[in-house]
Chain A
Amino acid sequence: MTVQVRLFGNLKGKAPKLDDSGYVGIVEMPIDDIETINDILGILKVDEMETSHIFLNHEYTELSSSVKDGDKVGIFPRDMALLYRWYFKGGIKRSYATGEKARK
């Protein structure tokens, strides 16, 4: 009854083992200790600001998402950000590229 947490970039050092490639840190976490992605960051002692993209079963997700037995969670560090910051936090800004207003 575990969740597989996959740590990328400089976060991989927080895992007890690496995958076959040697470039992804793997942590098998007992599901009993975890309700949400936030709990996983807490156990790993990783601050939210150290992260960029987080995926749950290969879909982009957010910190409050629930996890269940057998789930896979991928966590990327801040220096592997490739998306736009305004999705995460901050005020409403008009983006000329998307023509959209960012969310609060």
Chain B
Amino acid sequence: MITLGEKVATKILRLDMTELKATMEDVPDKWKNLGGRGLTSSIVAEEVPADCHPLGPNNKLVLAPGIVTGTKAPTSGRLSVGGKSPLTGGIKEANAGTSFAQKVARLGLKAIVVEGHRKKDDYFMVNILKDEIEFHDATIWSNMGLYKAYDDIRARFGVDVGICACGIAGEMGGAGAGVAFNDPEGMPSRYAGRGGLGAVMAARGLKFIVIDDSGGPGVKMADEEVFKIGTKKLTNALTSHDITKKGGTLNTYGTSALVNVINEAGALPHRNFSAGYDDMAPMVSGEKKAEVIKARGGERPHACSPGCIIRCSEVWVKQGGVDPVGVLEYESVWALGPNCGIYDLDDVGELNRACNDLGLDTIEMGDTMGVAMEGGLADFGDGKKAIKLMKEIENKTATGRLLANGCAFAGQAFGVHRVPAVKGQGLPAYDPRPIKGIGVTYATTPMGADHTAGYAIAPEILGVGGKLDPLDKKKGQLSRNFQNYTAFIDSSGYCLFTTFATVDIPEGFDGIVESCNGVLGTKWSADDAIALGSKIVLLERDFNIRAGFSNEDDRLPEFFRIEPLPPSNEVYDVPDEELDSVFGK
């Protein structure tokens, strides 16, 4: 038995999956002011050999809630997952909004480090309770879809438990496998999706972490007053800004409000990045989705985790209001929709359901399907065939294994040169040719192509001249500043979408920093927080250098540089020197 005592706020839980043993240790001083991405990346950088095989015994899976996660801070239910990525071969952090995150924090755990390796054919579940860590055999849930498995687990352990899982895609070692978390309905729809961390989890023989925080001590707070002042400032910013307030963009349409905006900007990739605009895009727009959800009796708006005041999420349902999927995010709708030439929301919904059920990253899967379609596995636009191909993954066929490994792998298998990946990771829903700055982030972030790592889209797409013209090539500094800012936000526990408000309302960001000070007892200024972000990004970059990466890996694929994208007919022409300036001296 392991007792989580009074001083729990400084504990790291280690799960040795070789010996099936749990140990609790104090957080060393050097890590005590970290959370989320800052903590996962620090642990991975120090404890995981950069040259290890991601699926081998020396990799680790690290989970860490953010600094304020588990408190009453608004929109802060985030948890980071880290490890060495089987998709990129570099360091990885992916994060999700889920009550699981809050439960980990409220049990006083700063991090869970999953170590060791799967010995036999068994899979295990680790059940974390206030006074006990239990290991259960979970092999019966192997080869089972996660919707059914989550139902079973909630029936057995209670409807309010938090659940973390890898799916069938992870079990087969697929580099496109994500780590699933529960949404408020208990479905596996919240994902730390990117980079194949689901396969890292499965390789340790860990199928589920189930957590119940009943009776937990909650998050220890150094200065309640400072915390309250900070969260009030942030709440004011979120509730007054057009994008984040009630009835604002995200609340009304969800992230899919971007479909029509980015399509109109000529930057929504269609049919494997071969066009930036298509008249069909409004068929899968946020406006349409919101209307359909309302008509069918789904739910919108909706919070992905308790305490979110933006509430951008939703519950997509089939006709007749049945078979809920969970949220269909902008990136997922784009990847599984326009990028595959599919403009039917019901087909997109079923593809998203299959990804959730199999434990797959929707972005990687959409990129993979787009490349496979270009390679002739199916016709662009054939949604029904795409849904059938997901069955190949479920059945672990050779084709299914190929698809579960991501778009770069599929590109090689099908002899396709137009492979939208950086460091092996598929690009998200913004073509970098008409929006140069996001391309700098795709190319240079240690994560592989990742829009969230430095969301240059928002400032730069407005090209009223000067530095932020989307076609201006001097974007190194913009991307670097965003990457540093984001690394701090990913560590704080706040959702990245708070940025929409805090960029316009600087007091909101002051509030974020002050609320972290309230929890930790630190005296960080806003500049200190950004400096911490910078330190985290450099730490991640250093891991990648040790893993064999160099400046030549900080490049977009050749086709972006030589194939003009209609309708702008832009190519990606940011010089290599500008890309290298992001982390250059």
Contact = CB atoms under 8 A, between A and B. Distances in A.
Interface of A: 6, 8-9, 19-24, 52-53, 55, 57-62, 74, 76, 78-87, 93-100, 103
Contacts of B500: 82, 84
B458 A82 contact: yes
28 contacts: A8-B260, A8-B261, A9-B287, A21-B280, A23-B288, A52-B242, A53-B261, A53-B461, A58-B265, A60-B464, A60-B470, A74-B264, A79-B253, A80-B249, A80-B257, A81-B248, A82-B249, A82-B500, A83-B459, A85-B242, A85-B504, A86-B503, A87-B459, A96-B506, A96-B526, A97-B481, A98-B481, A103-B466
Contacts of B247: 79
A74 B458 CA distance: 17
B567 interface: yes
A100 B477 CA distance: 9
Given A58-B276, A58-B277, A96-B509, A23 B287 contact: yes
Q: Which of A9, A23, A98, A99: most chain B Cβ within 10 A?
A: A98
B89 to A, nearest CB: 29
A76 B252 CA distance: 14
Contact of A55 (B243, B264, B529): B264
A74 B468 CA distance: 20
Nearest to B435: A60
A87 B457 CA distance: 13
Interface string B274-287: 00110110110101
Given A8-B260, A80-B260, A103-B464, 5 more contacts: A8-B287, A23-B285, A53-B462, A99-B480, A103-B466
B252 A79 contact: yes
For chain B, which range describes its interface: under 10, 10 to 19, 20 to 34, or 35 or more residues?
35 or more
A99 to B, nearest CB: 3
Contacts of B434: 58-59
Interface of B: 241-243, 247-249, 252-253, 257-258, 260-261, 264-266, 276-277, 279-280, 282-283, 285, 287-288, 434, 458-459, 461-464, 466-468, 470, 477-478, 480-482, 485-486, 499-500, 502-504, 506, 509, 526, 529-530, 567-568
Contacts of A96: 485, 502-503, 506, 509, 526, 529-530
Contacts of A79: 242, 247-249, 252-253
Q: Which of B257, B260, B482: most chain A Cβ within 10 A?
A: B260
B459 A80 contact: no
B262 to A, nearest CB: 9
Contacts of A61: 463
A79 B477 CA distance: 30
Q: Which of B261, B504, B526, B530: most chain A Cβ within 10 A?
A: B261
B461 A60 contact: yes
A59 B249 contact: no
B243 A81 contact: yes
A20 B466 CA distance: 37
B458 A84 contact: yes
Contacts of B464: 60, 62, 87, 103
A38 B585 CA distance: 45
A20 B279 contact: yes
Nearest to A9: B287
Q: Which of A60, A87, A95, A99: most chain B Cβ within 10 A?
A: A60
A83 B283 contact: no
A22 B292 CA distance: 13
8 nearest A-B residue pairs (beta carbon):
A58-B266, A99-B481, A21-B282, A74-B264, A23-B282, A97-B485, A87-B462, A60-B463
B381 to A, nearest CB: 15
Nearest to A10: B287
Nearest to A78: B242
A100 B568 contact: no
B258 to A, nearest CB: 6
A33 to B, nearest CB: 23
Contacts of B283: 21, 23
A98 B504 contact: no
A95 B506 contact: yes
